[in-house]
């Protein structure tokens, strides 16, 4: 009889323990959710711990290897123009990155790197987690952000708006180009940074079309062995292209002084596609 009572007691205790585990598994998410809602710091820590990240060195290796990366910079447009990673796309505050990425039609397996200054880790962690929740499983944030990237001396691309950028711009006259072309055009590369429609309507012979909007992405088409002469829609656009190329380590780059207008005034030939 006592043995039966003991068995019943053990069974009852075991049943109660199982019941407690089941109840806890059901209420645990509610408890933690309520706790994080009541404790903002806990919520911040949870977001940061959940979000995968990428080190500065790892990103540098990936960019040097030419991997197909999608870099999204969350800083303001003015900060972005002062210096950003080559090929990065600016998504300033106020835009929903998940919506924009989905509209762009990126594959769910795309390598997405979210970047900010580096001071607000919660910001990039939150956006990264939102991307992962939306199905972009390879989304990560850059650990240390732009601030640490710059401290390490890693390359940034600016947009030609600062006084420092003006020193990166070298001009070449039509007359000088004509003299150099007399010995052949094998050592000169003309780059037209206008949009395709305008390039097709008329451009310098043998010029290649690399629109300003995709210049950073298509830098592989720029020759490092030739003198590169850039021209665009206007002086601002051309100077911006020259600064970008300088920041991408193309140092033998020159701006066509006076642009296409000056070229044509001096009887420079124009061809159409």
pLDDT at residue 71, rounded to an integer: 95
Q: What angle do CA 238, 242, 246 make, to 5 degrees?
A: 170
- The full set of domains in the chain, from first to last, is 50-151 (3.40.250.10), 163-265 (3.40.250.10)
Q: What is the pLDDT of residue 161?
A: 72
Q: Is-above-0.75 flag for pTM? A: no
Two structure tokens written together for 23: 């109840």
Which DSSP letter does residue 234 get?
Answer: S
DSSP alpha helix (H) spans, the chain? 2-38, 40-50, 56-64, 77-82, 97-104, 121-133, 145-151, 163-166, 174-181, 196-201, 235-247, 259-265
Query: How far lies 154's CA from each of 42, 105, 176, in Å?
Result: 34, 30, 35
| pLDDT mean for each 10 residues of the chain (273 residues) | 57 72 67 58 80 95 91 93 92 84 90 94 94 95 96 89 85 95 90 97 96 92 95 94 94 96 94 91
């Amino acid at each position: 009889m006592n043995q039966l009572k003991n068995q019943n007691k053990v069974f009852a205790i075991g049943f109660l323990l199982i019941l407690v585990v089941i109840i806890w598994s059901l209420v645990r998410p509610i408890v933690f959710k309520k706790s994080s809602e009541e404790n903002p710091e806990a919520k911040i820590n949870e977001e940061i711990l959940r979000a995968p990240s990428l080190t500065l060195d790892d990103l540098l290796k990936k960019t040097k290897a030419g991997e197909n990366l999608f870099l999204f910079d969350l800083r303001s447009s003015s900060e972005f123009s002062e210096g950003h990673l080559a090929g990065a796309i600016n998504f300033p505050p106020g835009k929903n990155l998940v919506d924009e990425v989905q509209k762009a039609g990126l594959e769910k397996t795309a390598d997405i790197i979210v970047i900010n200054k580096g001071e607000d880790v919660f910001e990039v962690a939150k956006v990264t987690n939102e991307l992962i929740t939306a199905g972009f499983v390879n989304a990560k944030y850059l650990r240390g952000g732009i601030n640490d990237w710059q401290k390490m001396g890693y390359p940034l691309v600016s947009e030609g708006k600062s006084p420092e950028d003006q020193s990166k711009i070298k001009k070449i006259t039509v007359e000088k180009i004509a003299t150099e072309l007399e010995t052949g055009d094998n050592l000169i590369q003309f780059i037209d940074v206008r949009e395709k429609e305008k390039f097709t309507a008329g451009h310098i012979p043998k010029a290649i079309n690399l629109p300003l909007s995709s210049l950073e992405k298509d830098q592989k088409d720029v020759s490092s062995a030739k003198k590169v002469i850039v021209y665009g829609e206007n002086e601002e656009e051309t100077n911006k292209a020259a600064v970008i190329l300088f920041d991408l380590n193309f140092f033998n780059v020159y701006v066509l002084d006076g642009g296409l207008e000056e070229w044509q005034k001096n009887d420079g030939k124009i061809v159409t596609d």
